[in-house]
């Protein structure tokens, strides 16, 4: 209960101290906006719960190599799905697609819970069966980030979106706490299928809440829409092909996408393999690794709110400078791990700081800069493009680390899983930071390259001239 109390107090304090950007919104509008983003955001947190709960199944139903394969397939499906689901969200609206996401992810988790409970994998190997079920889960999960950014692009002005990026970081961080710490407790105290059934039930509950309260734009609730200050408030509605071409040829968006590819690699390198490292070398009972979800959550909230506040109030709503600062922290953290192999107890805290930095970057770029540069009309396509790169990076790290990092358990002569001596040898973990260092360096220099980038609102079309009068005869 102590970690939960710490988390509740910290989240409450952060929300109370959220920086305000005064744009003249009425109290009624602010209340309705909160009622809009809160169920939407918590739905997204529980999507994270139903995405990363698979980690707690590692070592129970899947070994490290099997887990890496399943997670790699899921990441690949997620990334490819965004190519379709981005424009689909622009067409259907974020409210419809968050409902699709919650329902589909819930059903996929119910399927995985059934397989975990019964051992029935429909005639396939566990790895293949879970790859299919988790791939389906990740298809529906891929609507989540697009939906929340799409909806909130119409509710938050450009100058408020740094704060929203911080809120996005809070939501991600809460989901990580649910998946890692609560997921671990579920496996210790309940039957294994509840690892999947509990997030499924929460997603179905918030499907109902989102259906009741979430709306795509203020005018759907009786409040007037307002000028947002982003790149495409005005102008024509483009086809999916035109938007895609505009996105991939946009000099800033394509750099953001490449930065986020690095972010996808680094985020999962930390979140997915940090606990394996700690447990493998015998540090599983230290505070950081024992409370991995709590530490990741507080670090992520801190990074998200720091990034959002600094972006809006110090850098005039530019997202790249704060992303460069956070990538500098990432690079320094990855480099610091190498000498800390001589004092491995300190690595946990270095990784916690890196978690703060990478979640802050993700909130700034995927959740905020995408809407800034694409505008509310084309937000879905922009988020889809950028998030596809995030999960390309995630896929790459999953297969690299799954192939080269030692397994925590191996079968003995009788087929029983026992501790792997190779995992206890810290020298076998050097590839973990070595692979992160060049990726962090690339992300850092790309962020520096777009330091001064800021979206320019398109000028209104010139007024039509009145028709010339016919000359008098």
Q: Are 401 and 68 in contact (CB under 8 A)?
A: yes
Nearest to 384 by CA among 80, 86, 90, 153: 86
**Percent of the chain scored above 90 by pLDDT?**
40
Nearest to 369 by CA among 334, 403, 322: 322
Q: Are 139 and 74 in contact (CB under 8 A)?
A: no
Kindly give the residue spans of alpha helices, DSSP state H, lying in 283-420.
287-290, 292-313, 320-340, 347-364, 370-374, 379-404
Least confident of 40-44, 80-84, 128-132: 80-84
Least confident of 64-73, 145-154, 449-458: 449-458
Mean pLDDT, residues 299-324 taken together: 78
Please give the structure tokens belonging to residue 280: 């493998």
How many CA atoms lie within 13 Å of 201's alpha carbon, on the beta-carbon side?
Answer: 7
Least confident of 31-35, 156-160, 320-324, 462-466: 462-466
Q: What distance in Å separates the CA atoms of residue 88 and residue 94, rounded to the nearest whole number?
A: 9
Give the bridge partners for 409, in sequence order. 419
pLDDT score, position 308: 73
pLDDT score, position 11: 58
Per-residue pLDDT of 283-311, as tens digits, reads 888 888 888 888 888 888 887 777 777 77
Work out the pLDDT band at 463, boundaries 50, 70, 90. low
More confident residue, 278 or 409: 278
Compute the mean pLDDT over every residue in the chain, rounded to the nearest whole number: 84
Place of tokens 């320019």: 456
Mean pLDDT, residues 91-116 taken together: 96
Q: Is the pLDDT of residue 464 over 70?
A: no
Q: Could you give the 3-state DSSP secondary structure of residue 409? A: strand
Among 17-31, 73-87, 398-412, 446-460, top mean pLDDT goes to 73-87
Work out the pLDDT band at 83, boundaries 50, 70, 90. confident
pTM for the model stands at 0.80
Q: What distance in Å separates the CA atoms of residue 414 and residue 416, rounded to the nearest whole number?
A: 6
Q: Which class is domain 33-216+238-449?
A: mainly alpha
Least confident of 101-105, 205-209, 314-318: 314-318
pLDDT score, position 189: 94
pLDDT score, position 241: 73
Q: What distance in Å separates the CA atoms of residue 297 and residue 169, rounded to the nearest whole number?
A: 9
Work out the pLDDT band at 455, boundaries 50, 70, 90. low
Q: Could you give the 3-state DSSP secondary structure of residue 417? A: strand
pLDDT score, position 9: 64
Q: What distance in Å separates the CA atoms of residue 99 and residue 52, rounded to the nearest whole number?
A: 20
Counting Cβ atoms within 10 Å, is residue 473 exposed (0-12), middle (13-18) or buried (19+)?
Answer: exposed
pLDDT score, position 254: 86
pLDDT score, position 53: 95
Q: Could you give the 3-state DSSP secondary structure of residue 215? A: coil
Q: Is the pLDDT of residue 144 over 60?
A: yes
More confident residue, 160 or 56: 56
Mean pLDDT, residues 346-363 taken together: 88
pLDDT score, position 469: 54
More confident residue, 300 or 458: 300
Least confident of 15-29, 225-239, 246-260, 413-427: 225-239
Q: Is the pLDDT of residue 3 over 70?
A: no
Q: What distance in Å separates the CA atoms of residue 218 and residue 23, rounded to the nearest whole number?
A: 15
Q: What distance in Å separates the CA atoms of residue 155 and residue 102, rounded to the nearest whole number?
A: 21
Please give the structure tokens belonging to residue 147: 């939906």
Q: What distance in Å separates the CA atoms of residue 155 and residue 37, rounded to the nearest whole number?
A: 9
Per-residue pLDDT of 372-424, as tens digits, reads 666 666 777 777 888 889 889 988 998 899 889 988 777 777 767 677 888 88
Per-residue pLDDT of 168-190, as tens digits, reads 667 777 888 898 889 989 999 99
Q: Is the pLDDT of residue 473 over 60?
A: no
Q: What distance in Å separates the CA atoms of residue 196 and residue 355, rounded to the nearest whole number?
A: 25
Least confident of 2-11, 48-57, 278-287: 2-11
Per-residue pLDDT of 241-273, as tens digits, reads 776 777 778 788 888 889 999 999 999 999 889
More confident residue, 262 or 157: 262
DSSP string, 232-275: TSSSPPPPHHHHHHHHHT-TTHHHHHHHHHHHHHHHHHHHHHHH
H/E element, 410: strand 409-411
Q: Is the pLDDT of residue 138 over 80?
A: yes
């Amino acid at each position: 209960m102590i970690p939960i109390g710490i988390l509740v107090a910290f989240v409450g304090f952060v929300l109370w101290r959220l920086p305000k950007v005064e744009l003249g919104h009425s109290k009624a509008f602010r209340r309705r906006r909160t009622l809009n983003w809160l169920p939407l955001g918590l739905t997204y947190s529980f999507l994270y719960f139903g995405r990363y709960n698979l980690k707690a199944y590692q070592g129970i139903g899947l070994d490290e190599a099997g887990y890496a394969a399943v997670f790699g397939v899921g990441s690949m499906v997620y990334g490819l799905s965004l190519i379709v689901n981005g424009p689909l969200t622009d067409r259907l609206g974020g409210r419809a697609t968050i409902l699709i996401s919650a329902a589909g992810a819930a059903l996929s988790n119910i399927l995985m819970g059934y397989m975990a409970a019964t051992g029935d994998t429909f005639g396939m190997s566990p790895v293949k069966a879970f790859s299919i079920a988790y791939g389906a889960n990740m298809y529906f999960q891929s609507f989540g980030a697009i939906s929340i950014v799409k909806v909130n692009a119409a509710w938050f002005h450009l100058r408020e979106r740094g704060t929203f990026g911080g809120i996005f970081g809070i939501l991600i961080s809460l989901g990580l706490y649910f998946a890692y710490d609560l997921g671990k407790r579920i496996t210790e105290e309940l039957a294994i299928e509840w690892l999947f059934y509990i997030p499924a039930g929460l997603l179905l509950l918030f499907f109902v809440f989102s259906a009741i309260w979430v709306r795509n734009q203020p005018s759907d609730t009786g409040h007037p829409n307002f000028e947002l200050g982003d790149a495409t408030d005005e102008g024509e509605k483009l086809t999916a092909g035109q938007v895609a071409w505009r996105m991939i040829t946009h000099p800033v968006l394509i750099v953001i996408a490449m930065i986020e590819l690095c972010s996808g690699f680094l985020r999962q390198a930390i979140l997915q393999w940090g606990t394996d490292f700690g447990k493998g070398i015998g540090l599983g009972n230290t505070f950081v690794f024992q409370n991995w979800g709590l530490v990741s959550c507080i670090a992520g909230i801190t990074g998200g709110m720091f990034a959002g506040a600094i972006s809006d109030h110090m850098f005039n709503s530019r997202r790249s400078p704060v992303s460069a600062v956070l990538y500098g922290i990432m690079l320094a953290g990855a480099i610091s791990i190498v000498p800390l192999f001589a004092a491995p107890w300190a690595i946990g805290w270095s990784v916690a700081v890196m978690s703060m930095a990478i979640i802050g970057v993700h909130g700034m770029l995927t959740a905020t800069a995408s809407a800034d540069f694409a505008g509310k009309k084309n937000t879905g396509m922009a988020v889809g493009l950028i998030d596809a790169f995030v999960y390309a990076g995630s896929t790459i790290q999953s297969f690299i680390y799954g192939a080269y990092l030692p397994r925590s358990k191996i079968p003995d002569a009788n087929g029983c899983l026992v501790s792997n001596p190779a995992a206890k040898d810290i020298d076998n973990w050097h590839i973990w930071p070595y692979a992160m260092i060049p990726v962090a360096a690339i992300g850092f220099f790309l962020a520096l390259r777009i330091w001064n980038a800021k979206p320019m609102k398109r000028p209104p079309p010139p007024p039509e001239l009145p028709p010339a009068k016919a000359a008098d005869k």
